[in-house]
Amino acid sequence: MKELYDYKVTAAGRVNVIGEHVDYCGGKVFPAALSMKNTVYVRANGTDKINLSWTTLPDKVSLDINNLERYKSLKYGNYQAGSALTWQRAGHKVLGCDMLMDCTVPFGSGLSSSAAIEVSTIAALCAVAGETCDPVEAALKAQQAEREFAGVNCGIMDQYASACGKKGHAMLLDCKTLDCEYVPVVLGDYAFVIANCNKPHSLVESKYNERRAQTEEALEVLQKHTDITCLADLSAEEFARHAGALSPVIERRARHVVHECVRVREAAQAMQTGDMVLLGKLLNASHESLKELYEVTGKELDALAAAAQSHPACAGSRMTGGGFGGCTISLVKKDCVEDFKAHVAKAYRDATGYTADFYEADISDGITVEKL
Ligand code: GLA
């Protein structure tokens, strides 16, 4: 079946090591692309239709390339339609083609299955059109598709990581300038373990957009006192000086952003100097801040992070991604990973009734294109 296609194109899911809810505030983030990914098998079909099918779904969907706006409310295929539309609007050739989708990023896990689908769709369209895909442009257009077709006013982190990831490296990405420094993920005796809390999450879009609006409100007030262009420009000292101008809730949101930006810098340094104890402490502090100040964790993620943090071989643990459900990332002594998982699974089940899933973080490339 797959051999009937001309190209195999992939884009990655991602895990964010640290730097949560700061990308849309112009901050630096520290994600890595995962080997869990979306694969598109694609061939041109000489028509005006993009025909979609899935390895894991019986559905078949046909998109008219001259009318891509009309697919916003599709259950399956809206991300592909949105990505094709934003790519087309940017002046790129979008040809009729058959696409078979195979996604190994668990949906709703906070590991960016949607970014993987969007970015791989754009890269697949490039392949059939004979164009070389600029991964940064693909990421920007995929982000626009997420905003317009999924209603999430997201930052650039997920799509950038999905497109531009590099095997064995995390990305210290400046979301204001899109400068990216690749940092080798060398964890010594430790490994990253990802755990999914498996709580079906709702209201993610509206809460996410609300948080983003609150940071914009903070910026507007603080700009009356400072000459910053984004919240991430503010040092912790400057923030402390002007925080009194903000209402209590908005002050908490902004305080998270300012201090999370400091932690990202320290975490990247800790990784570079091999200080796993410090890296772990920063992960814990990030979770605490997302829980108490930014309020995007929830009972399940808090229970999962607490279960991880209570294991003696765990240097630190935090939620990763947008929050309200999804995954944690933990830094765990390599030779204790199995014991860690058993401990966390039990403590988490006892606390919430849910069964967690675990994934080893295999850090991989972003977009790949293979001629079949
Ligand atoms: C989601 C968004 C990202 C980012 C994270 C939180 O994954 O898509 O842009 O804001 O949440 O860090």
State pLDDT tens for residues 152-187: 899 999 999 999 999 999 999 999 999 999 999 999
pLDDT of residue 150: 87
Query: Which atom of ligand 1 is nearest to 208's Cα?
Result: 11
Q: Which amino acid is at 336?
A: C
Strand order in the sheet with 180-184: 28-29, 169-174, 180-184
Q: Which amino acid is at 149?
A: F
pLDDT of residue 204: 67
- Asked if 324 and 298 count as a contact pair (C-beta separation under 8 A), the reply is yes
pLDDT of residue 360: 83
DSSP β-bridge partners for residue 54: 101
pLDDT of residue 3: 72
pLDDT of residue 209: 93
Question: pLDDT by residue (tens digit) across 54-66?
Answer: 999 999 999 999 9
Cα separation, 229 vs 206, in Å, equals 25
Pocket of ligand 1 (CB under 6 A): 20-21, 23-24, 154-155, 157-158, 321-322
Ligand 1 geometric centre to CA of 358 (Å): 21
- Asked if 118 and 63 count as a contact pair (C-beta separation under 8 A), the reply is no
Pocket test for ligand 1, best of 21, 111, 260 (most atoms within 8 A of CB): 21
Question: pLDDT by residue (tens digit) across 329-345?
Answer: 999 999 999 999 999 99
Q: Kindly give the interhelix angle for 113-129 and 78-89, rounded to the nearest 10 degrees.
A: 50
Pocket test for ligand 1, best of 21, 107, 157, 211 (most atoms within 8 A of CB): 157
Query: Which atom of ligand 1 is nearest to 20's Cα?
Result: 12
Pocket test for ligand 1, best of 14, 22, 23, 264 (most atoms within 8 A of CB): 23
Cα separation, 320 vs 109, in Å, equals 9
Question: pLDDT by residue (tens digit) across 57-113?
Answer: 999 999 999 999 999 989 899 999 999 999 999 999 999 999 999 999 998 889 999
Whether the pLDDT of residue 253 is over 80: the answer is: yes
- Asked if 197 and 300 count as a contact pair (C-beta separation under 8 A), the reply is yes
Question: pLDDT by residue (tens digit) across 34-55?
Answer: 999 999 999 999 999 999 999 9
Whether the pLDDT of residue 274 is over 70: the answer is: yes
Give the largest Cα separation in the chain, rounded: 64
Distance of CA 51 to the CA centre of its chain: 27
Report the nearest-CA residue for atom 2 of ligand 1: 154
Choosing from 23, 59, 98, 158, which is the catalytic residue? 158
Ligand 1 geometric centre to CA of 85 (Å): 22
Ligand 1 geometric centre to CA of 97 (Å): 31
Cα separation, 166 vs 19, in Å, equals 18
Whether the pLDDT of residue 31 is over 90: the answer is: yes
With cut-offs at 50, 70 and 90, classify the pLDDT of residue 200.
confident
* Mean pLDDT computed over 285-292: 98
Whether the pLDDT of residue 203 is over 70: the answer is: no
* 158 included as an active-site residue: yes
Tokens of 189: 């005796």
- Which phi and psi angles does 163 have, rounded to 5°? -85, -40
Report the nearest-CA residue for atom 5 of ligand 1: 322
Cα separation, 291 vs 34, in Å, equals 25
